[in-house]
Structures are given as C-alpha cells and as structure tokens.
Chain A
Amino acid sequence: GESVGLHLPTLSVQEGDNSIINCAYSNSASDYFIWYKQESGKGPQFIIDIRSNMDKRQGQRVTVLLNKTVKHLSLQIAATQPGDSAVYFCAENRGTDSWGKFQFGAGTQVVVTP
C-alpha cells in the first residue's frame, strides 16, 4: 500500500479536472483489490473493485487500472467534484485462504479546489 507515516500524501486537484490516485501493493499473490473513499469523520465507503484477471474496470466516473507486472493500482476520477474531497485508499486480498482479510494502504488525501 501507500507509504506509512503520520502525514498522508496529498493530491490537490482543480474542480473539473481528472484525478489519478496511485497505490503500490506488496504481495504478488494478491488477486483482488478494492478502492475505498473515506470522508472526514466517516467510515470507509466502497468505490470499485478489480480482480487480478483484469487490467481495467470502469464505474461511474471512476476507472481502476491494475498493472500486475509492477504491482501497481491506480484510481482515476473523471471531472473531479468538490464532493470527491476525501481520503482514498486501496486494499489487497491475498487469495482464497485469506477470504475477507485485506491489507489496507494508508491512503491519499484528495483536495478539490474551485
């Protein structure tokens, strides 16, 4: 996942622009990935998921890309809106023996400016 530390990396995006949030995962055996959005003072909210047999998956205004070669995951948000301001983090699941158990990244703070 993202680097561990007290301060999260921050992505500042102008309203209407596209956002790209990156995540480096740790285990080459991981076969299922989820992106979560967490607004201040709230619990994480599921955005989109992808399995390791896919390279790309699209949702409403969001796209997740998976590059297994370099163990990299990205979340693209199209036409970023003020309501997209939040912490975004990825989670990886390490296979059938780890059903329901994920390794979570620390997250990236996205700030949308007018």
Chain B
Amino acid sequence: NAGVTQTPKFRVLKTGQSMTLLCAQDMNHEYMYWYRQDPGMGLRLIHYSVGEGTTAKGEVPDGYNVSRLKKQNFLLGLESAAPSQTSVYFCASSYLSSQTQYFGPGTRLLVL
C-alpha cells in the first residue's frame, strides 16, 4: 500500500496563477482532508470530505476549492494564487469509524 500520496511535492506559482493539488489514498478511506501548515502554527483545516461527491468547508476555506469525484482522490484547487497561500499543504484520510488520520508527505507551495 502506498498510503496517502500527494502531487506535486513542490511548486512555485506567480500571484494570480491557478493550480490543482492532487491527493490519492489506497486505503478505501471514506474521509479525506486538506490542511495547511505555516511556520510556528498548527495544522489548519481547509476543506474536508466525508465521502465521494461531498465536500465541506473547514477553518480556512477562502481562496480554495475542492472536489471528490472518486473515493480515492481529493483535489485542492487554487483559482488565483496569493502570496498568503505560500504554505505546506497536507492531505489526510481516515475511516468513517475512526478519527485516526493518515497524512501524506505534503506539497510545498511558494507563491511569488
């Protein structure tokens, strides 16, 4: 099992550009999450999904959109990147019956 994988690992964007971060899990987890991690701060939840075709807002959803067209994939989109979105983005997944989340290796995003 690969667990939770994220692509790309690193990306540099210019202000105003758009991009999509891909998260994939092979554990048949129902729940999937997107977080951002900034220096000196705890993980903050951006959006999450409780199942295929459903998404919900987390703590810091502004400037991001998500889609869960397939159970194993959770996409995070930035429509118009801003320097404030420079961060490390982590995807996680969990079973419906458990709150233990399994994290991917992260995507480091730099917005200039």
Contacts and interface: CB of A to CB of B under 8 A. Distances in A.
B2 to A, nearest CB: 13
Interface in A19-42: 32, 34, 41-42
A41 B105 CA distance: 7
Given A7-B40, A43-B106, A101 B100 contact: no
Contact of B40 (A34, A42, A44, A106): A106
Report the contact-size class of chain B (Cβ under 8 Å from the partner). Answer: 20 to 34
Sorting the interface of chain A by its residue count into under 10, 10 to 19, 20 to 34 or 35 or more gives 20 to 34
Given A100-B94, A101-B58, A34 B48 contact: no
A42 B94 contact: no
Interface of A: 1-2, 4-8, 32, 34, 41-46, 49, 89, 91, 93, 99-107
